[in-house]
């Protein structure tokens, strides 16, 4: 198979990894300096070579560097990110197995993990490492996938702005697509849910001539989707497309990870296993031992008997409500929700936070800790719900609410009040750093 890219002569011969971080110790690596808003990776080429890079993409003149490092291969390109994406596509063509692509407003990583876990009952599976689902992460994933010798790959594709999904979908060229839901994550940039739907559907760009799209039947927008609607968007017009729905009650499953959203994700995994001739009993056993993904609904118990729900990686109204549902369904002496700001929700941000508060008023939750200026509106939603004259409209007992703007104070308070039998949910946008508190509990994990 041809290993060279024709546009700038790249060859992957002798390359064992692709690295973006010059500080990382690397072995026979291609270093790709990315030009960002605050820094330019070209400034760190010397460091990358000192750490083991044997090849470098560069949009700057490389003559002096080539003279300085005669044993390093330099590729002069107009745009290093675009060149990396070209390499990613080249690597994709080397993979002979099926590619499952997973996208959606929330639940991508957990669904991807569940699908990979279930498929492993009968196939050798490759999946995206960590959160490498972006314009630079997907090409690197393709490079790793091409060397995996896997039968099938489960790839996560994320987007936050118009046009981004098309770029990565044309690299991944999926055979099977899964859309978990259409929420309001990134609505600040995409403005409407229809725009979000259209962007997510671009996962089909670059798809094989015969593709399958699995959609969440519980999502109000997705369940109205048809092939005709997809074609109206100008998507998958030359693809023989089949749409299949999945629902949480399609299979009898008893999961460690609680909540209807987890059953929904598992159902997608089971459908894909069934359609790819994987033994369903084996797939079921794999899913029923699945303990979740760190930061995305993983549960664990500390030595002191506190059950932690680690859902601190990210947050939107849909995922926060799902996390609160999980908290309300688990047995415990006290149910405590630690909730931080949800970001990138646009001009209705405070309304979305108040909406979560209104939802909490319907659940059996005992204590709510709110961290951040936006999260304070969750408390306003709770209070407004209980201040309504109709006291018997399905509301539970009003929870105790505490507000925090200081992270250290929040951490110290949680650590001091947590006791045997408590169930504590951590949920907020990643930059709010609730995972740091979770990690202190993880050090006491049984």
**Residues forming CATH 3.40.1390.10 domain(s) in the chain:** 17-77
- What pLDDT digit, counting tens, does each position of 384-404 carry? 999 874 555 556 689 999 999
Domain 298-442 has CATH 3.90.190.20: yes
**Residues forming CATH 3.90.190.20 domain(s) in the chain:** 298-442
- What pLDDT digit, counting tens, does each position of 358-378 carry? 999 999 999 999 999 999 999
- What pLDDT digit, counting tens, does each position of 170-211 carry? 999 999 999 999 877 656 666 788 888 999 999 999 997 899
**Residues forming CATH 3.40.1190.10 domain(s) in the chain:** 95-288
Question: Would you state the pLDDT for residue 186?
Answer: 59
Architecture of domain 17-77: 3-Layer(aba) Sandwich (3.40)
Strand partners, 37: none
How many other CB atoms sit within 10 Å of the CB of residue 49? 21
Report the distance separating Cα 55 and Cα 9, nearest Å. Answer: 12
Mean pLDDT of the chain: 92
- Judged against a pLDDT cut of 80, whether residue 5 lies above it is answered with no
Strand partners, 301: 307
Strand partners, 422: 334
Report the distance separating Cα 262 and Cα 260, nearest Å. Answer: 5
Q: Which superfamily is assigned to 95-288 in CATH?
A: Mur-like, catalytic domain (3.40.1190.10)
DSSP assignments along 161-193, one per residue: STTHHHHHHHHH--SEEEE-----TTHHHH-SH
Strand partners, 278: none
Rounded to the nearest 10 degrees, how much is the dihedral formed by the CA atoms of 187, 190, 194, 199? -120
* 191 vs 436, higher pLDDT: 436
In this prediction, residue 132 has a pLDDT band, given cuts at 50, 70 and 90, of: confident
Question: Would you state the pLDDT for residue 294?
Answer: 82
Specify whether the CB–CB gap between 121 and 283 falls below 8 A: yes
């Amino acid at each position: 198979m041809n290993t060279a890219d024709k546009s700038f002569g790249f060859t992957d011969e002798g390359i064992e990894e692709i690295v973006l971080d010059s500080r990382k110790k690397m072995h026979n690596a291609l270093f790709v300096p990315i030009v960002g808003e605050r820094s330019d990776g070209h400034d760190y080429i010397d460091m990358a070579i000192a750490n083991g890079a044997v090849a470098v993409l560069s949009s700057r003149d490389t003559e002096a560097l080539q003279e300085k490092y005669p044993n390093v291969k330099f590729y002069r390109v107009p745009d290093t990110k675009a060149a990396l994406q070209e390499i990613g596509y080249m690597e994709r063509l080397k993979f002979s197995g099926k590619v499952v692509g997973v996208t959606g407003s929330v639940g991508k990583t957990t669904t991807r993990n569940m699908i990979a876990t279930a498929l492993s009952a009968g196939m050798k599976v490759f999946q995206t490492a960590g959160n490498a689902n972006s314009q630079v992460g997907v090409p690197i994933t393709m490079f790793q996938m091409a060397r995996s010798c896997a039968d099938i790959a489960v790839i996560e594709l994320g987007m936050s702005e118009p046009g981004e999904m098309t770029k990565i979908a044309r690299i991944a060229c999926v055979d099977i697509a899964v859309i978990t839901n259409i929420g309001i994550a990134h609505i600040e940039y995409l403005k409407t849910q229809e725009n979000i739907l259209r962007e997510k559907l671009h996962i089909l760009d670059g798809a094989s001539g015969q593709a399958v799209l699995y959609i969440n039947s519980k999502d109000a927008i997705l369940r109205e989707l048809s092939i005709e609607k997809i074609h109206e968007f100008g998507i998958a017009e030359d693809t023989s497309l089949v749409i299949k729905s999945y629902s949480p009650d399609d299979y009898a499953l008893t999961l460690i990870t609680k909540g209807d959203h987890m059953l929904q994700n598992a159902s997608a995994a089971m459908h894909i296993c069934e359609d790819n001739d994987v033994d369903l009993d084996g797939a079921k056993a794999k899913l029923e031992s699945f303990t979740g993904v760190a930061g995305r609904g993983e549960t664990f118990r500390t030595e002191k008997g506190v059950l932690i729900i680690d859902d601190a990686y990210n947050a939107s109204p849909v995922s926060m409500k799902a996390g609160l549902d999980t908290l309300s369904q688990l047995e415990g002496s006290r149910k405590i929700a630690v909730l931080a700001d949800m970001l990138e929700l646009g001009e209705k941000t405070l309304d979305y936070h108040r909406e979560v508060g209104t939802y909490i008023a319907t659940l059996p939750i005992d204590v709510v800790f709110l961290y951040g200026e936006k999260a304070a509106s969750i408390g306003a939603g709770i209070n407004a719900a209980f201040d309504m004259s109709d006291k018997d409209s399905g509301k539970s007992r009003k929870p105790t609410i505490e507000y925090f703007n200081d992270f250290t104070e929040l951490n110290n308070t949680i650590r001091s009040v947590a006791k045997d039998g408590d169930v504590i949910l951590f949920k907020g946008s990643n930059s709010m750093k609730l995972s740091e508190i979770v990690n202190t509990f993880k050090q006491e994990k049984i």
